[in-house]
Amino acid sequence: MPPTPSTPQAAPDVAAEAARRRTFAVISHPDAGKSTLTEALALHARVIGEAGAVHGKSGRRAVISDWMEMEQARGISVTSAALQFEYAGHVVNLLDTPGHADFSEDTYRVLAAVDCAVMLLDAAKGLEPQTLKLFDVCRHRGVPVVTFINKWDRPGMHPLDLVDELEQRIGLRATPVNWPVGEAGVFHGLLDRNDETLTTFERAPGGARIAVEATLAAAEAKERHPDEWDTALDEVALLDDVDTESFLAGQTTPLLFGAGVVNVGVRQLLDTLVSLAPAPEARPDADGRPRPVDAPFSGLVFKVQAGMDKAHRDRLAFVRVCSGRFERGAVVTHAATGRPFATKYARTMLGRERETIDIAYPGDIVGLVNANALTVGDTLYADGAPVSFPPMPSFAPEHFVTARTTDTGKAKQFRRGIEQLAEEGVVQILQSARRGDGAPILAAVGPLQFEVATTRLSQEFGVPVALDNLPYGLARRTDPDAVAVLDAEAGVEVAERRDGALLALFPDTWRLASVRRRHPDIRLAPLVAGA
């Protein structure tokens, strides 16, 4: 289909501003070092000043974003949604993803709002379950992936074994940007593949600042570390050079080594993102038509959260600007309802202050307060230039409970609260004909989501809630004419999701297989993450 034409009122600087943006998220298994790397990246861009003081997180409540923790620990203000900084003439937007696997559904949604992902691996562990899941989502959504092997300051796997693992387990060919000289743990520096220099690092006093880097020419590097230098050259020669086309196509991954905690390799990662990661591009709308970045303003709501002020039960919506120039104060249209939405109170929470944001460009993240009408997946657009982006996918839940309020006088508040949590995407809500309106099924990717739901229902809505576990572990999508047959099967229940999808719930894959054998004609389609 032809692209939507740009209109003359689009500001001429939009395309140039979009071109210098890099919007990405870090995906990793918990403890690989995401928070540490985030601080180190921001430090390099001089937003935070000095990294390092707080890396421990014992006793951390998993529901608290690491970034909120950083904010408290340092008295700085970073949003729990995005951190923005300038680097080398570019504007970098780093979107936060929750650390705990139970909140991976939030991460999936964030991946709908980025142009690139950094896959962070622990050098001693390689690919871990959560990394694999998130990588699948990237692949599904066509998000290109840069790989950063972290914790190279201590013993780990052999670099070639890590490369093998990437290729064997996820079919991703690694193309090194740099290569370690010396083994993990006894490490002399990074061979820069581009110009065959060695970057050495010296820990700054206290280890809290940017590592002091020195660059040695090849001859000097060889003189200092003759064997290790030759080994590094030999090893890296086995692997292909970085290739932009296959990287963007998801076939190769630029590979870097480093150690976030001592700021090693962090500059190289930023340089790689700036030079290789894609800038915001035309985004396909719900009809598959690409909307150019210089078309009038449009944005996608990818995260909704309860406002900080509990008394007002305000909702904060985070919007990724997809096209055009966002100007605070402009009245935009909410595609789902056709109603106007005032952006007078747009916020960014970057740098030291929660600031009001006046202008934002494609790739930037804007926080909108008073966003009670907005839900995850919604589109906003400038008047006169309607667009809807495809709905945000819902992910395959693996945990199911029924919820009811123990205070019968609060049925109304209970329903309202449940509705609100569903709109925010805290949990998925299913209705089953077997259970009344007062006992919806809550479905989640991870059980901590239920904890958040019950805490919020009691604190924000004053509704005491009891949950009962349901003996299901997986859901499959089915059709209306199969409901009666499936509901008659022992251990199987069919429920309707808010988006109208019919989900058949099964205890396990064995039960699913036996139902399939008996009813080969019934559609039982997997709910693929990202589908």
Taking CB under 6 A as the criterion, the residue among 46, 55, 312, 313 binding ligand GDP is 55
6, 18, 27, 66: which one binds ligand GDP (CB under 6 A): 66
- Sole binder of ligand GDP in the list 19, 30, 203, 451 (CB under 6 A): 30
| Bridge partner residues of 150 (DSSP) | 122
Q: Which run of H or E residues covers position 154? A: none
Residue placing its CB nearer to ligand GDP in the complex, 153 or 235: 153
Cβ atoms within 10 Å of 75's Cβ, excluding its own: 8
Say if residue 99 carries a ligand binding annotation: yes
> Of 259 and 304, which has the nearer Cβ to ligand GDP?
259
As a residue count, the chain comes to: 531
Choose which of 98, 99, 159, 377 interacts with ligand GDP (CB under 6 A): 99
Taking CB under 6 A as the rule, does residue 69 contact ligand GDP? Answer: no
Q: Is 267 in the site for ligand GDP (CB under 6 A)?
A: no
* Part in contact with ligand GDP (CB under 6 A); list of ranges 29-37, 236-244, 360-368, 461-469: 29-37
351 carries a ligand binding annotation: no
Answer for the pair 262, 207: CB distance below 8 angstroms, yes or no: yes
DSSP for 100-146, written as a single string: SGGGHHHHHHHTTS-SEEEEEEETTTBS-HHHHHHHHHHHHHT--EE
DSSP state of 259: B
| C-beta closer to ligand GDP: residue 258 or 417 | 258
Q: How many residues bind ligand GDP (CB under 6 A)?
A: 19
305 is a site residue for ligand GDP (CB under 6 A): no
> Which tokens in the block code for residue 485?
């047959």
Quick one: which of 33, 52, 144, 156 contacts ligand GDP (CB under 6 A)? 33
Any known ligand binding at 526?
no
Q: Can you tell me the distance from the alpha carbon of 283 to that of 22, in angstroms, rounded to the nearest whole number?
A: 15
**Backbone phi and psi for residue 239, each to the nearest 5 degrees, phi listed first:** -115, 150
The strand ranges marked E within 186-289 are: 186-192, 197-202, 212-216, 252-257, 283-284
Alpha carbon separation from 376 to 82, 315, 316, 328, 362 (Å, rounded): 16, 12, 11, 21, 18
In the complex, minimum distance from the CB of residue 378 to ligand GDP, in angstroms, rounded to a whole number: 29
Among the candidate windows 131-139, 146-154, 189-197, 466-474, which touches ligand GDP by CB under 6 A?
146-154
Per CB under 6 A, the list member of 4, 6, 25, 34 interacting with ligand GDP is 34
The minimum distance between CB 516 and ligand GDP, in angstroms, equals 38
Near ligand GDP by CB under 6 A, which window of 23-31, 214-222, 341-349, 366-374? 23-31
Count CB-CB contacts under 10 A for residue 63.
Answer: 15
By CB under 6 A, residue 151 contacts ligand GDP? yes
Q: Between 203 and 347, whose beta carbon lies closer to ligand GDP?
A: 203
What is residue 240's DSSP assignment? P
Q: Are 3 and 291 in contact (CB under 8 A)?
A: yes
Contact 119, 145 (CB under 8 A): yes
Terminal-to-terminal C-alpha distance of the chain = 22
97 is in an annotated binding site: yes
- Helices and strands per DSSP (H, E), number in the chain: 14, 31
Question: Does the footprint of ligand GDP cover residue 153 (CB under 6 A)?
Answer: yes
Annotated binding site for GTP: 96-100
What residues make contact with ligand GDP under the rule CB under 6 A?
28, 30-36, 55, 57, 66, 99, 150-151, 153-154, 259-261
